[in-house]
Amino acid sequence: MLSQSDLRLLTQTGPGTPMGELFRRFWIPAMMAHELPEPDCAPVRLRMLSEDLICWRNTDGTLGAMQNACPHRGASMFFGRNEENGLRCVYHGWKFDVDGRCIDLPTSPPGSGYKDTITLLAYPTREWADIVWVYMGPRTTPPPLPMIEANLLPETEVDIFFMQRSCNWLQAQEGDFDPSHVRFLHSTLDENRSNPGNRVSGLNLGIATNPAFNGYYSMEDTDTGMLFSSVQQMSSGKVSVSVLPWMMPAFCVPGVAGLNMFSSNMRIPIDNTSMMFFCRRFAPSCHQRAFSAAPGRA
């Protein structure tokens, strides 16, 4: 069991916190790209790592993610006008580009260079794998986008969904590392006879005849995070082996998510008590093609 101080260390992700600074070293998924369907569409409110942001699509199609509050009087940029390659504050018309630079200052005298001294907090933003990604870290040049196998597949071969959950990111993440709960939560007490879909993998999980845990866990550090494995004896006599790669800061592939389907999970803190869950599901054959096609692989 973790102590209260350890839990606070791992679940507080606001600016300046150790875990928050760790998350900010990576590209993290923010929202689905279809939520910004076209250039100059309405901005979208966004809260990530306890920061209130606005995400918007520029006239040229590029994306921006910036602080919610205008630096002048704190008005929400969500109500601004998205037009002509800039987002204009509704209060006094101050206009900013996707990099946070002030490009028009209607309240300033003609010829004044004051606008060139004004900026608001803006983060690098990319559209990739049907997701809007944001880099909130200190590097001038952001790191590469995460080459997770499910992100390399065409849209037609991946099912993707996302949802908000009222718990911290760690509470949701730990379920991926808990194979014992699968035999109860994702099964029925009659050995799945009343569950034709066999929610997890089509295997007989043996709850009725073998409810006790019978196996072991092991963990190994990797260059990108950790590799977790478990071995369990099934009531059918077969041995179930589960291998789960976890990649920093909160990406993992917990194994089968249905008959012949894998799940790639990404859990991103909204704040200290809520999180956004992004899930991409794909078939094993697609998984093999994606792995061989990853950049830098022969």
Strand order in the sheet with 102-104: 81-82, 87-88, 95-96, 102-104
pLDDT in tens, 24-38: 999 999 999 999 999
Alpha-carbon distance values, 268 to 33, 34, 169, 174 (Å): 16, 19, 6, 13
Amino acid (one-letter) located at 272: N
Higher pLDDT residue, 298 or 220?
A: 220
* Helix%, strand%, coil% for the chain, nearest 5: 20, 35, 45
pLDDT in tens, 266-296: 999 999 999 999 988 887 655 455 444 444 3
3-state secondary structure at position 172: helix
Question: What CA–CA distance (Å, rounded) separates 199 from 83?
Answer: 47
Sign, Cα dihedral of 106, 107, 111, 112: negative
- 268 contacts 251 by C-beta, under 8 angstroms: no
Q: What is the mean pLDDT of the chain?
A: 84
Q: Residue 197 — very low, low, confident or very high, per pLDDT cuts 50/70/90?
A: low
Q: Is the pTM of this model over 0.75?
A: yes
Q: Residue 119 — very low, low, confident or very high, per pLDDT cuts 50/70/90?
A: very high
The mean pLDDT of 153-174, rounded to a whole number, is 87
Residues of the chain with pLDDT > 90, as a percent, come to 55
Q: Residue 193 — very low, low, confident or very high, per pLDDT cuts 50/70/90?
A: low
3-state secondary structure at position 285: helix
The mean pLDDT of 181-205, rounded to a whole number, is 59
72 Cβ partners below 8 Å, 6+ apart? 89, 91, 92, 94
The mean pLDDT of 75-82, rounded to a whole number, is 96
Question: Has residue 15 got a pLDDT over 80?
Answer: yes
Question: What CA–CA distance (Å, rounded) separates 28 from 146?
Answer: 9
Question: What CA–CA distance (Å, rounded) separates 103 from 98?
Answer: 10
Question: What CA–CA distance (Å, rounded) separates 298 from 293?
Answer: 8
Question: What CA–CA distance (Å, rounded) separates 231 from 120?
Answer: 52
pLDDT in tens, 207-229: 434 444 456 778 899 998 999 88
- 260 contacts 283 by C-beta, under 8 angstroms: yes
